[in-house]
Amino acid sequence: MHFTGRTWRPPYEADSCIIELTSGCTWNKCNFCSLYKQEAFGLTTLEKFEVDLQEIKSLQPNARRLFLTGANPFALSYETLKPYVLTVRDYLIKCQHIAMFASIRDIKNKDVWQLKKLRAMGVNGLSIGVESGDDTTLALAGKGYTSYDILEQCRKLEEANIEYYFVYMTGLAGKNNGYRNAINSARLFSQLNPYFISIDALTLFSDTKLYTMAQEGIFIPAGEHERLKELQVFIQNLKIRMHLFANSNSNFYPIAAYLPKEREYVISEIEQIMETFTEEEMLSYRDGLKSLG
Ligand code: SF4
């Protein structure tokens, strides 16, 4: 298999076949992220892609799900993506889902008819790190889109019947702003239908802009207990039926729930975590983290 630079996949894609389509990130401007800072965005050749598909076929001829690498392969235009996704079924006849990371910015360059065609070719399962639905937080994070963009672009995905997942990041709004971020994000996400929401908690790494802002006192990080309270408010105010996972490394304590059925249970579970562990214990866990997820 050909892999260039950093290969990163979400925890829930662990059972998917991973294949390189792109490397790096077209944006590279999120203030909390340094994942692809050292890499330029790149696209693999169709020839290499086919060699890798052949290798997957030899090992997993019945593969049903493929995950395309890179921070946002969905940034590629419809015309550029098309030959790659069309080739997948030449090798993996049973492949049902061609999943990948996508940004809200990447949906803007596609019309609904193009999204529908991509869906018909097997594109399904977009992981979107929206991080927030609160405009102040989105601007602070440098995401390059607004809450209105999230609404408008995800509705296009829904019209095309493309399944998508959100990532929400607690702590991103900074000290004393978690409540506002949670309320506004839950309100926005409740107008949409993400298949599930995955939760990360902000970890400041020294090679990020947000870290520098924190050093300069421009950004004051939220405490660990405030992040958990933010998560409670977020869950309390989500009005859609879906799974929620707060079980990546960046979460001090792994939580998973099906909402709204397990809402009260999970809120009380978070309360118990706050009562059991001190701020210092949680901070020392975070200090040991090596990456965002
Ligand atoms: S968070 Fe994602 S979109 Fe933002 S810079 Fe990092 S990899 Fe790129």
Q: Is residue 292 part of a domain?
A: no
Distance 28 CA to ligand 1 centre (A): 5
CA 8–ligand 1 middle distance (angstroms): 11
**How confident is residue 128, by pLDDT bands cut at 50, 70 and 90?**
very high
- Give the model's pLDDT for residue 261: 97
Interval 212-267: pLDDT, tens: 999 999 999 999 999 999 999 999 999 999 999 998 889 999 999 999 999 999 99
Instruction: Tell me, in angstroms, the distance from the centre of ligand 1 to residue 49's CA.
Output: 23
Which has the closest alpha carbon to 259: 237, 243, 270?
Answer: 243
Is the Cα torsion angle 7, 285, 166, 107 positive or negative in sign? negative
State the closest ligand 1 atom to the C-alpha of 34, by its place in the atom list counted from 1. Answer: 6
Q: What is the pLDDT of residues 25-74, one digit of tens each?
A: 999 999 999 988 888 999 999 999 999 999 999 999 999 999 999 999 99
User: Which domain does 137 fall in, by range?
Assistant: 11-287
Please report whether residue 92 resides in a domain. Answer: yes
Nearest CA to ligand 1 atom 7: 71
Residue 184 has pLDDT above 60, yes or no: yes
Query: Rounded to the nearest whole angstrom, what is the distance from the C-alpha of residue 163 to the centroid of ligand 1?
Result: 20
Q: Which residues are CB-contacts of 129 (< 8 A; sequence separation ≥ 6)?
A: 101, 103, 166, 167, 169
pTM over 0.75: yes
Domain count for the chain: 1
- For atom 6 of ligand 1, the residue with the nearest CA is 33
Tell me the CATH number at 266. Answer: 3.20.20.70
Q: Which residues contact 68 (CB under 8 A, 6 or more apart)?
A: 19, 20, 21, 22, 84, 98, 99, 100
* Ligand 1 interacting residues, C-beta cut-off 6 A: 25, 27-30, 33, 35-36, 71-72, 103, 129
Is it the case that residue 273 has pLDDT exceeding 70?
A: yes
pLDDT of residue 38: 85
Q: Supply 271's token pair.
A: 């309360």
Query: Residue 5 falls within a domain, yes or no?
Result: no
Name the pLDDT band for 11 (thresholds 50, 70, 90): confident
pLDDT at 162: 98
Specify if 212 maps to a domain. Answer: yes
For residue range 85-94, list pLDDT tens digits in order. Answer: 999 999 999 9
In a domain, 87, yes or no: yes
Residue 3 lies in a domain: no
Give the tens place of pLDDT for each residue, 98-110: 999 999 999 999 9
Q: Looking at the predicted structure, is the pLDDT value of residue 293 above 60? A: no
2 within a domain of the structure (yes/no): no
The alpha carbon dihedral of 171, 177, 183, 187 has a sign of negative
Do the domain assignments include residue 108?
A: yes
Answer whether residue 127 shows pLDDT above 90. Answer: yes
